[in-house]
Amino acid sequence: MNPADLGLPVDVPSTALFTDQYELTMLQAALRAGTADRRSVFEVFTRRLPEGRRYGVVGGTGRVLDAVENFRFDPAVLGFLRERGIVDEPTLQWLASYRFSGDIWGYPEGEVYFPGSPILRVEGSFAECVLLETVILSILNHDSAIAAAASRMSAAAAGRPLIEMGARRTHELAAVASARAAYVGGFSTTSDLAAGFRYGIPTVGTSAHAFTLLHDSERDAFRAQVDSLGRGTTLLVDTYDVAEAVRTAVDIAGPELGAVRIDSGDLLLVAHRVRQQLDELGATSTKIVVTSDLDEYAIASLAAAPVDAYGVGTQLVTGSGHPTCSMVYKLVARARGADPKAPLEPVAKKSSGGKTSIGGRKWAARRTDAEGIAEAEVVGTGPVPAELADRQLLTELVKGGEVVAREPLDAARERHIAARAALPMSAIQLSRGEPVLPTEYV
């Protein structure tokens, strides 16, 4: 089964209403003014990274491609717009046949980015491009925030597996997207079955404290779980007394016990005690999994602890304090008339307060040093310098309205591992700092 064939996991006819009303009113005014068909270029970028972050991670590109394909104004959606009087009849007629027919270029999913990076470039008529603003931003802002948090956590984990388990801490559909973005950012598994079903992410899960409390004794609960799931299961050992629970767990499952999970207390201290106890009981291969409101700082603090895996929920699905990336979608170039051959002219917002933008259709490349380590993000609007020609970052995603770059999720995950490894070592420091690469405009 190809998960992409399932369609979007949303209870709406299409993605067309994942938008703001002003996009439709702009369309109506542009149609009336005769400017709707002007060739236009929109770009997604962020003016700054979340405070203290050293790099960003592109997440959600695959979901953007799904959303663009499903952006259709079917009769039910058109009926809603007509009933509310949101746009006039000529605009409704135009929307009835809407299909994005332009081109989209962007940083591939899993790539890192910096302030000013043209993360996504959408080209086509003004009318068809302007409608995609909100749905594109909602996906990229959310998924990139989760992917960045996941990346920081996976760097702190230094190769130890991470389990995404935040479904109960966010909206049910955001939970699925979060699990996907976390996988791109370096997590190994998820507890969310919808994410496993839709995206093929490996799923894990055994029991909660409720299962222990259900039984007359902890021994009865452990026996029931081992009888059902086998000796390789993970037993939760902090419902009552941890030391007693570990003794009981090994007594029932033997040295083949897969793992024990610790969900409370001083995790550093308890993990050391549990490791010593397991070894003394002969369960030297039994692993220790820790959970309990972890973030990248808590994970880093456990680097010296005998911990084999981490389960992370709330802090992951909320972006570890930064649930959005502040990405914007701005018109950067447009033709003066409707002639498809009319040259593009740079346009840009000029205002005070730090909300200025740079006009022109942009390219981006990453300059590296002699050892292949990145040293600058180079963004330009003119010819690409010869020395950067093979280091360009934008790839073609949609051509003439057709998706041309759909890929397995594992490809994005592997890309991120490689992209992060090519950054200066200071990129994975958790201390606050400036972006690890400067953005140079040429």
261-270 confidence digits (pLDDT tens): 999 999 999 9
Q: What angle do CA 112, 116, 121 make, to 5 degrees?
A: 80
163-173 confidence digits (pLDDT tens): 999 999 999 99
pLDDT at 81 over 70: yes
> Is the Cβ–Cβ distance between 344 and 334 less than 8 Å?
yes
Distance of CA 220 to the CA centre of its chain: 41
**Token pair of 400, please?**
């003439």
**Token pair of 366, please?**
């990453």
β-strand partners of 43: 121, 330
Max distance between CA atoms of the chain, in angstroms, equals 80
Where is average pLDDT lowest: 3-7, 97-101, 284-288? 3-7
Closest C-alpha among 347, 5, 316 to residue 174: 316
Percent of the chain with pLDDT over 70: 96
DSSP code string of 74-103: -HHHHHHHHHHT-S-HHHHHHHHT----SE
99-125 confidence digits (pLDDT tens): 999 999 999 999 999 999 999 999 999
pLDDT at 273 over 70: yes
291-325 confidence digits (pLDDT tens): 999 999 999 999 999 999 999 999 999 999 999 99
Q: What angle do CA 156, 108, 145 make, to 5 degrees?
A: 45
Which pLDDT score is estimated for 199?
A: 95
Which pLDDT score is estimated for 351?
A: 72
Instruction: Give the chain's count of helices (H) and strands (E).
Output: 15, 18
Contacts (Cβ under 8 Å, ≥6 apart) of 42: 121, 122, 123, 129, 130, 132, 133, 329, 330, 331, 332
> Is the Cβ–Cβ distance between 120 and 140 less than 8 Å?
yes
Q: Which amino acid is present at 430?
A: L
| Rounded mean pLDDT, 71-97 | 97
pLDDT at 161 over 80: yes
Q: Which domains does the chain have, with CATH numbers?
A: 7-131+326-441 (3.20.140.10), 147-321 (3.20.20.70)
Cα within 13 Å of Cα(40), Cβ side: 21
| Rounded mean pLDDT, 47-67 | 96
193-219 confidence digits (pLDDT tens): 999 999 999 999 999 999 999 999 999
Which pLDDT score is estimated for 11?
A: 45
Which pLDDT score is estimated for 9?
A: 47
pLDDT at 332 over 70: yes
What whole-number distance in Å separates Cα of residue 384 and Cα of residue 387? 8
* 203 DSSP assignment: B
What whole-number distance in Å separates Cα of residue 84 and Cα of residue 163? 45
- Residue 12 — very low, low, confident or very high, per pLDDT cuts 50/70/90? very low
Which pLDDT score is estimated for 200?
A: 96
pLDDT at 353 over 70: no
Closest C-alpha among 56, 45, 103, 46 to residue 403: 103
Which pLDDT score is estimated for 3?
A: 46
